[in-house]
Amino acid sequence: MRRVAVVGGDGIGPEVIRSALLVLDSVGFAADMVPLDVGFARWRRTGTALAQEDLETMRRCNCILFGAITTPPDPAYRSVLLRIRKDLDLYANIRPFHSSRIDLVIVRENTEGLYSGIEEIGQEEARTVRVITRAGSRRIAAAACQLASRRRRLTIVHKSNVLKSDTLFLETCREEARAAGVSHDDMLVDAAAYNLVLRPERFDVMVTTNLFGDILSDEMAGVLGSLGLCSSANLGERHALFEPIHGSAPDIAGRGVANPVGAVRSAAMMLEWFGLSEESRLVEAAVQSCLAKGMVTPDLGGSCTTEQATACICQAISRGLP
């Protein structure tokens, strides 16, 4: 039996995860769902956001379906997501973006860069160490090349003209692309940000470092119209975590207006990871059908509640689509 750790988390996280679970039920997905209470709300109650036993439970599951987490600017608070990514070695963050004219994937290195966790905080000076290793660059480049080999082209995004550590990343990605026989080019991150707004259709698969990937993917969500539309997979050799790219949005939590599409699409990515390609395609087709009908939440200019948008997706699945 498949086992999936289910983390609602904070803010709108539990709301959108409920939607994802309803959609999974609609396609007949069978698994032992293991709920876990982690995040900022738990930290405020107990002083612990994520316990070691929670990580052990995650390791015993096939993968994790994750909602959203609040990360406060408190030095005593350790980021839940960063800890999970590092402990489970979820080094590849895959973020697809689709619209009528856009079809691109951002592949973000997930364990190094400025999110290395190596920091010194002083009264007059603070330092964060940006870590780029050949091994880390090689494996994220290999993941990106595997995707690009089934598509058109790989673009390596970097800032090696200023950040000399990016020279190692750029050279390693080029080596991997040449070895894989993948058509590739490279672009400075500021130029990539500019072109994502003006000419996003020129991109196919982009590979980049941790912070750049984080920022560029949120920019791409803005180009599409909402963070609430977008999904992601955090992949390692043995484990995986699937989550919408949006945050916990505490300002709208509990109001029933959160966009469930990012979480639903993350569940579809999980289905694909389990080898259930037909079910995954059915979920995405149902999402597209409801978006086309305008059955959307207020972030997209609609008037649907989270529950109504979810019901539209589930109904489209049960009808086999219009």
What are the catalytic residues? Answer: 115, 159, 190, 214, 218
Secondary structure (H, E, C), the chain: CCEEEEEEECCCHHHHHHHHHHHHHHCCCCCEEEEECCCHHHHHHHCCCCCHHHHHHHHHCCEEEEEECCCCCCCCCCCHHHHHHHHCCCCEEEEEEECCCCEEEEEEECCCECCCCCEEECCCCEEECCECCHHHHHHHHHHHHHHHCCCCCEEEEECCCCCCHHHHHHHHHHHHHHHHCCCEEEEEHHHHHHHHHHCHHHCCEEEECHHHHHHHHHHHHHHHCCHHHCEEEEECCCCEEEEECCCCCCCCCCCCCCCCHHHHHHHHHHHHHCCCHHHHHHHHHHHHHHHHHCCCCHHHCCCCCHHHHHHHHHHHHHHCCC
